[in-house]
Amino acid sequence: GAGVSQSPSNKVTEKGKDVELRCDPISGHTALYWYRQRLGQGLEFLIYFQGNSAPDKSGLPSDRFSAERTGESVSTLTIQRTQQEDSAVYLCASSRQGNTEAFFGQGTRLTVV
Amino acid sequence: GNSVTQMEGPVTLSEEAFLTINCTYTATGYPSLFWYVQYPGEGLQLLLKATKADDKGSNKGFEATYRKETTSFHLEKGSVQVSDSAVYFCALSDPVTGNQFYFGTGTSLTVIP
Mean pLDDT by 10 residues, chain A (113 residues): 90 98 94 90 87 88 95 95 97 82 94 97
The pLDDT of residue A1 is: 53
* Residue B69: burial class (beta carbons within 10 Å; 0-12, 13-18, 19+): exposed
The pLDDT of residue B2 is: 86
Residue B97 predicted with pLDDT over 90: no
CB within 8 Å: A101 and B34: yes
3-state secondary structure of B96: helix
Q: Which among A31, A62, A58 has a CA at the least distance from the CA of A46?
A: A58
CB within 8 Å: B44 and A33: no
The pLDDT of residue A113 is: 97
Do the beta carbons of residue B35 and residue B106 sit within 8 Å? no
Residues of B in contact with A104 (CB under 8 A): 36, 43-45
Alpha carbons B60 and B35: distance in angstroms, whole number = 12
CB within 8 Å: B99 and A41: no
